[in-house]
Structure formats: C-alpha cells, structure tokens
Amino acid sequence: MIANVGIVVTGGAVRLTASGLGCPTVPNCTEDSFFPTPELGVHGVIEYTNRTLTGVLSLVALATLVAVWRDRPRRRDLLGPAIGLLVGIPAQALLGAVTVLTGLNPWTVMGHFLVSGVLIAVAVLLFRRSREPAGVTLAVVPVPLRLLGRGLLSVVATVLVLGTLVTGTGPHAGDPDSPRMG
C-alpha cells in the first residue's frame, strides 16, 4: 500500500513538473540509453524515478503474493487482491508506456491515473483483510451505513473521473504542449 502511494506521489511529481515526456521513449529513457542523459535534465530524472519505482512496486507485489500463498491456512480472501496487484502493476506500466508513446494523450493519461487509484484501493482492501482473522467474517456495520458508504464510493469515483476529464481538457495535462481532449 505504501509503495503504491509512493508511485502515485512520483507520478504527481511527473505531472506537476511537466516531466511526462522526460524520457521520450519506452522502455529506454532515450533511443541510446536506458538511463536519463544530461540533455534531458531534471525532467528525465523525475520520469526515470517514476519508472524505476514500478520495478520496486512489482517486487513488493510479488513478495506479497508469495507471503499470501505460503500463509496457512491459505486465505482465498487475500489471494485475489494479491494476484490483482501483481497483474495490475505491470498492466499499469504498459499503460504508462502507451501514454508516453502517444505523446501524453489525455485519454491515456486519464486512464493511467485512474488505474493507480484502483490499485491503491485493492492494496487497502488486501491490507484491511489481512488484519482480520481467517474464516468467515460477519458484517458488523448496519445496512444503512453500508449503503451510505457505497453511495459515497460512487460519488468519489464520479468526482475522480470527471476531475481527470476536466484536467485533460485544461491547461495542465502534464506537459504544456500535450494535446487536450476538447
């Protein structure tokens, strides 16, 4: 969960510093170098740091899955989210590559951001479930409060999607020269 938040923070740094194309090629940073070169300046370092954390995050997800798999009794309620993270993180990296290769197309930028939110939600779910005892869990939250929570989740998801749409059409989509949606 912490590693997922860390990569979102570096992703935010990429966006706020207009470093989205700091490394203009994928998987290398430049056509001739895997690492950022001095010509790319700080933007290359920021983008490269974000990419590097994807590898760290993937290793954390793998270690988490191994720990869940080895845990006895095996908990299916943890296995699904652990697999989801291990599959979702490389998928997110591929979406990041598409985002770079499309020159920061606002639709791919939007998807890249929103998938990060989903991955964090899965990580929080995994953490929360891991703190509960194994076996059948009983709902202790009253039905009206559960419904309110689901409604709030729907509203928050809608705000996030609409917020990314607005940002993609506005003045700050990660690079001053990137295309806008509208």
Kindly state whether residue 177 falls inside one of the protein's structural domains.
no
Its sign, for the CA torsion 77, 161, 12, 100, is positive
Residue 90 CA to residue 109 CA, distance in Å, equals 16
In a domain, 176, yes or no: no
How confident is the model at residue 175, as a pLDDT?
57
Domain that holds residue 99: 2-169
DSSP assignment letter at 136:
-
Q: What is the pLDDT of residue 34?
A: 93
174 within domain boundaries: no
Number of domains in the chain: 1
Q: Given this model, what pLDDT does residue 105 score?
A: 86
Query: In order along the chain (182 residues), what is the average pLDDT of each group of 10 residues?
Result: 86 86 91 92 93 93 96 91 96 94 88 92 94 79 93 94 75 59 62
CA distances from 98 to 54, 65, 104 (A): 15, 27, 8
Within a domain: 144: yes
Q: Is residue 7 domain-resident?
A: yes
DSSP, collapsed to helix, strand or coil, labels residue 135 as: coil
3-state helix, strand and coil shares in percent for the chain, rounded to the nearest 5: 70, 0, 30
Whether 93 is in a domain gets the answer yes
Identify whether 129 is part of a domain. Answer: yes
Global pTM? 0.82
* Domain presence at residue 175: no
